[in-house]
């Protein structure tokens, strides 16, 4: 498999926690490190284009930023490592999944501390209709959520050619 540059797109073929990935899905391989949240957010925005309302686009950007930040901070995904961001259209909603190599920490809701940290999963819970955490037998961690879209965009990108985005 080719090593990703900063972000690579590919059609998702993996099985999700609730079944196979939908046909209208995108998988983005993102290098870790401190700039990963911004790169992931930009790559997601480029995939979705102007298909969403400003509020939906803003919510998706915030969710992706928070989940990728958690992978970098809590799972320690470094610049020489990769995490995956997946987007999948489902009737009336968008599923967002961030997968990393995992760590000894279990993603969970925590009370924000006095330094302003630990808001990530609280924001995800407030913005999304459902969310959860799955682990596979190799230790990979997958944090997923579903954001209601009203109305659901009719046209989504369907061509998924592996390429890189800087």
Output the domain CATH number for residue 126: 3.30.565.10
- 34 domain residue, yes or no: yes
Give me the mean pLDDT over the 73-85 stretch: 94
pLDDT score recorded for residue 20: 44
pLDDT score recorded for residue 109: 60
Distance of CA 102 to the CA centre of its chain: 15
- 2 domain residue, yes or no: no
Residue-wise over 36-66: b if at least 16 C-beta within 10 A, else e? Answer: bbebbbbbbeebbeebbeeebbebbbebbbb
- 31 domain residue, yes or no: yes
Give me the mean pLDDT over the 108-132 stretch: 72
Compute CA distances 81 → 6, 21, 100, 103, 161, whole Å.
10, 24, 9, 14, 22
What is the extent of the structural domain holding 48? 7-165
pTM of the model: 0.74
Tokens linked to 98:
């961030």
- 1 domain residue, yes or no: no
First to last CA, the chain: 19
- 159 domain residue, yes or no: yes
- 93 domain residue, yes or no: yes
pLDDT band at 117 (very low <50, low <70, confident <90, very high): low
Q: How many domains does the chain have?
A: 1
């Amino acid at each position: 498999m080719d090593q990703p540059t900063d972000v690579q797109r590919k059609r998702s073929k993996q099985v999700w926690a609730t079944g196979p990935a939908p046909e209208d899905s995108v998988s983005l391989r993102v290098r870790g490190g401190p700039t990963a949240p911004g790169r992931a957010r930009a790559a997601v925005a480029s995939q979705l284009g102007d298909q969403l309302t400003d509020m939906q686009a803003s919510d998706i950007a915030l969710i992706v930023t928070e989940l990728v930040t958690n992978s970098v901070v809590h799972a320690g995904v470094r610049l020489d490592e990769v995490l995956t961001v997946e987007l999948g259209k489902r009737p009336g909603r968008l599923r967002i999944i961030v997968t990393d190599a995992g760590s000894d920490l279990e993603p969970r809701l925590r009370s924000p501390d006095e330094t302003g940290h630990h808001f990530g999963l609280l924001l995800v819970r407030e913005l999304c209709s459902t969310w959860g955490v799955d682990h596979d037998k190799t230790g990979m961690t997958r944090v997923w959520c579903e954001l209601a879209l009203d109305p659901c965009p009719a046209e989504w990108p369907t061509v998924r050619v592996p390429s890189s985005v800087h």
